[in-house]
């Protein structure tokens, strides 16, 4: 089973939904380009959202840091 990357619009809609669910403090227009690239991957969006629940997302979130959280 292969999950395709979200389009930019799909990623935005998914992020806004996860922002509410996980109480993420960073608004869509405040996300760095690096983080936006990561959250186009559905699995990474879920992991980042869980890792930074009730927090601001960093400007740089490499997978290794997300996995360590």
Torsion (CA) 30, 32, 36, 38 in degrees, nearest 10: -140
Instruction: Identify whether the C-beta of residue 66 lies closer than 8 Å to the C-beta of residue 44.
Output: yes
Sign of the alpha-carbon dihedral angle for 58, 24, 26, 37: positive
Considering the entire predicted model, what is its pTM? 0.84
Q: pLDDT (tens digit, 0 to 9) for every residue of the chain, 69 residues total?
A: 788 999 999 999 999 999 999 999 999 999 999 899 999 999 999 999 999 999 999 887 655 555 555
**Measured distance between the N- and C-terminal CA atoms of the chain, rounded to whole angstroms:** 26
């Amino acid at each position: 089973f292969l999950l395709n990357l979200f389009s930019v619009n799909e990623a935005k809609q998914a992020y806004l939904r996860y922002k509410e669910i996980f109480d993420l403090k960073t608004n869509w227009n405040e996300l760095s380009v690096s983080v936006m690239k990561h959250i186009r991957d559905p699995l990474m969006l879920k992991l980042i959202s869980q890792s930074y629940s009730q927090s601001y997302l960093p400007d740089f979130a490499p997978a290794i840091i997300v996995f360590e959280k």
